[in-house]
Amino acid sequence: MKKVAIGIDIGGTNTVFGVVDEMGQVLVKNDIPTPKHGDVDRYITDLSAGVQEMIESVKQLSSDIEILGIGIGAPNGNYYSGTIEYAPNLSFKGVVPLVELVKKRFDLPVIALTNDANAAAIGEMVYGGAKGMKNFVMITLGTGLGSGIVVNGDLVYGHDGFAGEIGHTIVVPNGRSCGCGTPGHLEAYCSAPGIKRTAFELLAHYNGGDSELTKYTFDELNSKIVFEAAERGDKIAIEAFQRTGKLLGRALADTVHHLSPEAIFLFGGPTAAGDYIFKPTKESMEEYLLPIFANKVRILPSELKSGSAAIVGASALVWNEINK
């Protein structure tokens, strides 16, 4: 009997789902659009049909399969209550009792929900580079900056299920505007759009500075283009990553001063820039750490594959519940 778990990741645009084995291999996957219409019941019906169809297809591959449960990652997903609460990027209003709704459709031992960054942290612990680690932090760099914190081998949900919002800690008092409304947050600087914003600040500061980035509109530029320019030696692109790493490292020093983790994993598009982002982050973190923490905390790239990480992370919730 091959044991598998289903992972569902609810994103602003698409909902992706897959069947994942104990090694973190995705056996089959599929997706549906995340609706803009805000009708939860219709969405659950569509999602359930999609997942059911996927289950049938995997059972055709092998009859010897046992499905242990469904793990779901979603913005503002609350592990304790199983609800999605006031998610700014989803069309559903208020509090959605997602786990309860999914339980009505599937009779499985485990059906669990958390937010996408927490799911990624559990994925790293179950399948990735954090195997065997008891204290680590996962940072996901994308449209925003998400985080998942593991202490004593358990994900930190906090009192209300919403712990791990490191992206909304302040790095520059009264600094850049953040999507949440409070200025100066880490994710306004250290995220894919944050890198672009830094590049634009530098273009303004250096009056273009002979950079190839002068050719792009704000709408066109993205962190991948900045990385490619950095690889060609573009000074403004390189400095954009240096500044991003400098602020990220300083913020991570604050996190270390809270939690003293063994390692901090970075995940997401901007990490493809490798040393351009990892090196200044590590150097800056070390600069701001108390001597007792010096050279103790590793900053590592996530070992989750970028294409399937969302599904794999969500599915890891199931293994994590079973192994508790």
Judged by the rule CB under 8 A, the positions of this chain that interact with its own copies are 76, 85-86, 134-135, 149, 151-152, 154, 156-166, 168-173, 180, 182, 250, 253-255, 257-262, 288, 290-293, 296-297
Shortest gap between Cβ of 159 and its own copies (angstroms)?
4
By C-beta, is 2 or 258 nearer to its own copies?
258
Are residues 125 and 265 in contact, defined by beta-carbon separation less than 8 angstroms? Answer: no
Give the CA angle between residues 82, 169, 285 to the nearest 5°. 115
By C-beta, is 22 or 254 nearer to its own copies?
254
Shortest gap between Cβ of 150 and its own copies (angstroms)?
10
DSSP string covering 201-214: HHHHHTTTTT-GGG
By C-beta, is 135 or 143 nearer to its own copies?
135
247 torsion bin: left (phi>0), alpha (psi -120 to 50), beta (else): alpha
For residue 294 the two structure tokens come to: 């010096």
- Block residue for tokens 């200025």: 183
Are residues 71 and 318 in contact, defined by beta-carbon separation less than 8 angstroms? Answer: yes
By C-beta, is 106 or 162 nearer to its own copies?
162
Are residues 276 and 230 in contact, defined by beta-carbon separation less than 8 angstroms? Answer: yes
Shortest gap between Cβ of 42 and its own copies (angstroms)?
26
By C-beta, is 85 or 283 nearer to its own copies?
85
Instruction: Choose among 127, 117, 125, 129: nearest CA to 152.
Output: 125
Dihedral sign from CA coordinates of 48, 80, 148, 27 = negative
Shortest gap between Cβ of 198 and its own copies (angstroms)?
16
Shortest gap between Cβ of 265 and its own copies (angstroms)?
14
Are residues 288 and 253 in contact, defined by beta-carbon separation less than 8 angstroms? Answer: yes
By C-beta, is 18 or 194 nearer to its own copies?
194
Shortest gap between Cβ of 270 and its own copies (angstroms)?
21
By C-beta, is 91 or 260 nearer to its own copies?
260
DSSP string covering 245-297: HHHHHHHHHHHHHHH--SEEEEESGGGGGTHHHHHHHHHHHHHHS-GGGTTT-
Shortest gap between Cβ of 251 and its own copies (angstroms)?
9
